[in-house]
Amino acid sequence: MFYCLYVGFFLDQRDNRIDIERYIREGDRVLDVCCYTGGFSVHCGVIGAEVWGVDISKRALEVAEENMRLNNIDNYHLIHGNAFDVMRDLIEEGEFFDVVILDPPSFTRTSEDVKNALRAYNTLNYLGLQLSRRMLVTCSCSHHIDRETFKSTVVSASLRAKREIKQIGGYRTQSPDHVISMANKNLEYLKCLFFAVD
């Protein structure tokens, strides 16, 4: 990759991107929120999904578009804007997606920010659940928020949205090359949950 805020392509999500291919059907509509350079979008697009990617970084979307081209994906829409605003607009327009993926940057850098971060995760998932017909993939990369707290926040959002969610598989975390030291729990920072949505 030739663009970098981090390494340009979040390698810690590699296995989760591969795993999502099992749940994508040709013709699905997929909304990839905070898509960055298109990691999840590409994996869905190669299956034959219609992909909508949203990100606040114009440069990241330029790279995402190039990644679509390199992978011979032509059924995609890339939207530049604030994730919350774009999702509200899509709800207002009556859009629905078979699968909604939420992979935002960390909402908290310090433990003092956790309360505000949980509020943001709740709202993001609430909006995502209003747009999803079948599946929600939701992630957090903040080591200040443990996986049970994150899951509880998603459950709270589902109750608020009046949508039933059922967890698919167990807890997903970073790929094995991002090792987790037993002496430093902060290294287990990535939480990724797959939910069926009714």
Average confidence (pLDDT) over 71-78: 98
Decide if 141 is catalytic.
yes
Mean pLDDT of the chain: 88
Report pLDDT digits (tens) over 152-180: 999 999 999 999 999 998 765 554 544 55
Share of the chain above pLDDT 90, in %: 69
pLDDT the model gives residue 111: 78
- For domain 11-197, the CATH superfamily is Vaccinia Virus protein VP39 (3.40.50.150)
Output the pLDDT for position 166.
Answer: 98
The 3-class SS string of the chain reads: CCCCCCCCCCHHHHHHHHHHHHHCCCCCEEEEECCCCCHHHHHHHCCCCEEEEEECCHHHHHHHHHHHHHCCCCCEEEEECCHHHHHHHHHHCCCCEEEEEECCCCCCCCHHHHHHHHHHHHHHHHHHHHHEEEEEEEEECCCCCCHHHHHHHHHHHHHHHCCCEEEEEEEECCCCCCCCCCCCHHHCCCEEEEEEEC
- Whether 137 has a pLDDT exceeding 80, the answer reads yes
Mean pLDDT of 115-120: 94
- Give the tens place of pLDDT for each residue, 16-49: 888 899 999 999 999 999 999 999 999 999 999 9
**Catalytic residue, candidates 34, 44, 141, 192:** 141
Full-model pTM? 0.87
* pLDDT at residue 55 tops 70: yes
Mean pLDDT of all residues in 57-63 = 97
pLDDT for 3: 40
pLDDT greater than 80 at residue 122: yes
Could you tell me the residue ranges of all domains in the chain?
11-197
User: Which is higher by pLDDT, 118 or 186?
Assistant: 118
State yes or no: pLDDT of 126 exceeds 50. Answer: yes
